[in-house]
Amino acid sequence: MITVVVIDMQNAYFEDPALGRRRDELVESCNALMDAARSRGAKVLLVKTEHERDRSTWTLNMLEDDQGFIFRGSEQADFVPGLATAGLPQLVKTRDSAFLGTDLLWRLRNWDSDTIVLAGVSSHNCVAQTGADAFGHNIRVVYAEEATGSEDREAEKALLSILTREYRQEMLRLPQIEALLDGH
């Protein structure tokens, strides 16, 4: 079974001008991907990052810089306008990987998912780390080319090159993902 996992499509990440310019395009692509999955009976999971103001969930660099962000209940933590979230299950994470400290693996096992299609932001960070950890759990990964984005295109290209080459994870366009969903 294939599960589509959409990561960090939240207001905070689109405050960066490089991603901000691509917001509408990424929302449209993520919505198309989620529609394609749901119409074929595949599961879709929305993943978001949220932190507590008391520093208890902050990452090392947040602690070192004494600067937190994406606080639970804030506008930064909200999904971007236009993203089709109604009725979809959600998972909250506090680290780059959607596997670390969450029940993602259990959800995928309960859904009999052996493959995940990753979308969202940032490709060089949270999306890539989730993909690398999926490999560690023997879960196949496909990256949705039109539905992923990064504020650092060089890092995105480098990391996705490593993951596609070393872990045999594929970067596919929506029509290819639709064919994969149809054949699975």
In this model, does residue 184 exceed pLDDT 80?
no
Q: DSSP assignment, residue 72?
A: T
The structural domains of the chain, with segments of one domain joined by +, span 2-183
The token pair at 116 is 């995940």
Secondary element (H or E) of residue 146: strand 140-149
Phi then psi dihedrals of residue 93, to 5 deg: -125, 160
- Can you tell me the mean pLDDT for 17-35? 96
Owner of token pair 């919505």: 31
Query: Greatest CA span in the chain, whole angstroms?
Result: 49
d(C-alpha 76, C-alpha 178), whole Å: 32
Kindly give, in sequence order, each residue whose CB lies less than 8 Å from that of residue 38, ignoring residues fewer than 6 positions away.
44
Q: Check residue 124 and give its pLDDT.
A: 84
Q: Check residue 101 and give its pLDDT.
A: 95
Q: Check residue 29 and give its pLDDT.
A: 98
Q: Check residue 154 and give its pLDDT.
A: 87
State which fold the 2-183 domain adopts. Answer: Rossmann fold (3.40.50)
